[in-house]
Structure 1
Amino acid sequence: MRFSRRGFLAAGAAVGFSGFSGPVLASDTLSVVATTGMIADTARRIGGGAVEVKSLMGAGVDPHAYRQTRTDIVAMTRADLVLWHGLYLEAQMQDFLHKLEKRGTVVAATDTLPRELLRGHDDYADKFDPHVWMDPTLWTYVVEHIRDALTAKSPANAELFAANTKTLITELEALAVYGARAMATVPQEARVLVTAHDAFGYFGRAYGFEVMGIQGISTESEAGLNRIGELVDLLVERKIGAVFVESSVSDRSIRALSEGAAAKGHEVIIGGELFSDAMGQEGTYEGTYPGMIDHNFTVIAGALGGSVPARGLSGKLSAGS
């Protein structure tokens, strides 16, 4: 998984972001339930017409706090395969999912990620930061594990799943190249990302950014007045010009940062809305995993003084992203 260094145009040419094709050999489609939108989109791209995927969590839903509904329980117990993220992301669902594992239909998509590549968790010594989708390089491990899980359930479609996986990984390579080139255009002193909670640690590690969240890795962490005060002082002292809200977290604390800095004579703008724990609206480019990451890369770099295409890597971002 070494990424060649290509230009924006070469990277864009490598990305189709369209549906996958290929013959479906099995007589019946595979019924798959995925917890998060990122996992659901990945399963659809790999499975093509051989799978039917239901996502439990839609746009703007916080997976840290999500609890399964009765409808979710029925869907999961009837599915051929249940894909969940793991790494304590779905903290409120974890006990139920572990019980469901006894049926042999449940797979944690992050199980095969090398533990040496994971960041530690702020609040739990024996757990890891679950937000691995923020680095497309890490997400390739998830892609391959989902491919293997689908193949185990539908061996007749192994060739289709393998071909679609290869195409998707090529897209992720192009995204990683775009991210690296976009972030390299941000002035060194401006490479500080301040958001509502610490969901961007893997992004920061991959692209050389200092990342600060008001809350910790989980949105269940309390955002105290002391933490907000500390970050206001940091914004003023280091002359940081932009902070970011998240689509799945209240913007109240981030706006308090901007107002606090203004009270001390330093203007801090809201640089844009980032997709942290959930993707964009279904049916939009931002409602896909590649679109989600393309959006984040483009908004972050653009707001912090970098140079990026207005509509992102593939020109598909919504106007105003």
Structure 2
Amino acid sequence: MITRRTLLGIATALAMVLPGSQTFAADKLDIVATTGMIADAARQVGGDLVEVKGLMGPGVDPHAYRQTRTDIVSMANADLVLWHGLYLEAQMEDFMTGLSEEGNVVPVADGLPRNLLISHDDYDDKYDPHVWMNPNLWSRVVLNVRDALIATQPESEDVFRANADAHLADLTRLATYTTEVLASVPAEERMLVTSHDAFNYFGSAYGFEVLGIQGISTESEAGLQRIAQLVDELVERNVQAVFVESSVSDRNIRALIEGAAAKGHDVKIGGELFSDAMGEDGTYEGTYVGMIDHNATTIAGALGGQAPKQGMQGLLN
């Protein structure tokens, strides 16, 4: 098992040879977060008191991501490391477990009540990790981020609580918007076909049937039989639109469209959804609120619902 002492030794050695591996500004809490969604939560709650580095940027698949040498330096030197857990960062699991033995490392989704989670199809003791697809469930993760910040810097508790309350209010407005626009989709059109099963919490929250070509993890293989089954489903149920994901190859979605076309049924791409990663840094879609706003607005518009083209706040591109 890799311990923090070992990692600090590695980090010290790497820092001497890796450019740009300096620690963050000394007057701010140094936080490293694995996914963009967690990084956004830390920035919202931490405000001006934190400097947050997200390891996985736009288009990055967390299921397959492995820590780099620079990541090791950043995490070993951080005041706080936030990761998702629930086997989302599957290739980093052993590393994060070892780092947590002596470091301030918090899996912010692992503590969610099990009765709120969706069981993993392939593993009896694991759960679907894509909890950010339901803003109300993600609010619980934000609270865990808040508590981790308070535990790390107790003297700033009042600021962290105030910032968290403001962000949670934003998430409540987001949940209201998504519920309203998705409720406008006709019941017979509420089928969401995507590259992998990242939208089960979305489907549960908003009454959509969700079909993913791959399983919960993008590491699972989509066989020809699975694609053929979905093609038959698209044709039989007259599905008009399917969706690609920003962090998953569109190869299998294209195969679905071609298979349906071969059977005389035209299916369009309803748009690109953000599943395991947010949009580009510095954009509205590069925030959690913008990510979910984009998804709800895109899905509603493509499946016959009513939604403003520029989303909840008029900020979508």
Same fold (TM over 0.5): yes
Structure 1 segment 156-235 matched on structure 2, within 5 A: 156-235=155-234
Q: Give the root-mean-square deviation of aligned CA atoms.
A: 0.8
Q: Deviations over 1:41-99 (max 9, x none)?
A: 11001000100000000000000000000100010000000000000000000100000
Match of 1:29 in 2: 28
Structure 1 segment 82-121 matched on structure 2, within 5 A: 82-121=81-120
Q: Does 1:41 align with 2:40?
A: yes
8 Å CA contact 1:29–1:51 kept in 2: the answer is yes
1:29 positional shift? 1.0
Once residues 140 and 84 of structure 1 are traced to their aligned partners in structure 2, the CA distance between those partners, rounded to angstroms, is 16
Give the 3-state SS of the residue equivalent to 2:310 in structure 1: coil
Give the 3-state SS of the residue equivalent to 1:212 in structure 2: strand
Letter in 2 for 1:106: V
Give the 3-state SS of the residue equivalent to 2:90 in structure 1: coil
Match of 1:18 in 2: none
Once residues 218 and 111 of structure 1 are traced to their aligned partners in structure 2, the CA distance between those partners, rounded to angstroms, is 17
1:112 positional shift? 2.5
1:155 positional shift? 1.1
1:123 positional shift? 1.4
Give the 3-state SS of the residue equivalent to 1:317 in structure 2: coil
Match of 2:140 in 1: 141
Match of 2:3 in 1: none
Give the 3-state SS of the residue equivalent to 1:142 in structure 2: helix
User: RCO greater where, 1 or 2, for CA within 8 Å and sep 6 or more?
Assistant: 1
Q: Deviations over 1:111-145 (max 9, x none)?
A: 33111000001211110000000000000110000
Letter in 2 for 1:177: T
Instruction: Report % sequence identity.
Output: 68
Match of 1:285 in 2: 284
Once residues 30 and 211 of structure 2 are traced to their aligned partners in structure 1, the CA distance between those partners, rounded to angstroms, is 39
Letter in 2 for 1:215: Q
Letter in 2 for 1:39: I
Once residues 102 and 294 of structure 2 are traced to their aligned partners in structure 1, the CA distance between those partners, rounded to angstroms, is 38
Q: Does 1:239 align with 2:224?
A: no
Match of 2:123 in 1: 124
8 Å CA contact 1:112–1:141 kept in 2: the answer is no
Once residues 158 and 29 of structure 1 are traced to their aligned partners in structure 2, the CA distance between those partners, rounded to angstroms, is 15
1:315 positional shift? 0.5
Match of 1:3 in 2: none
Superposed structure 1 runs of 4+ greater than 6 Å apart: none
Q: Deviations over 1:219-243 (max 9, x none)?
A: 0000100000000000000000000
User: Would you say how many aligned residue pairs link Structure 1 and Structure 2?
Assistant: 292
Once residues 228 and 273 of structure 1 are traced to their aligned partners in structure 2, the CA distance between those partners, rounded to angstroms, is 19
Return the TM-score normalized by structure 1. 0.90
Give the 3-state SS of the residue equivalent to 1:103 in structure 2: coil
Match of 2:149 in 1: 150
Once residues 140 and 60 of structure 1 are traced to their aligned partners in structure 2, the CA distance between those partners, rounded to angstroms, is 23
Once residues 263 and 66 of structure 1 are traced to their aligned partners in structure 2, the CA distance between those partners, rounded to angstroms, is 36
8 Å CA contact 1:32–1:51 kept in 2: the answer is yes
Return the TM-score normalized by structure 2. 0.91
Once residues 315 and 113 of structure 1 are traced to their aligned partners in structure 2, the CA distance between those partners, rounded to angstroms, is 32
Once residues 112 and 171 of structure 1 are traced to their aligned partners in structure 2, the CA distance between those partners, rounded to angstroms, is 23
Structure 1 segment 71-86 matched on structure 2, within 5 A: 71-86=70-85
Once residues 192 and 76 of structure 2 are traced to their aligned partners in structure 1, the CA distance between those partners, rounded to angstroms, is 40
Once residues 184 and 290 of structure 1 are traced to their aligned partners in structure 2, the CA distance between those partners, rounded to angstroms, is 19
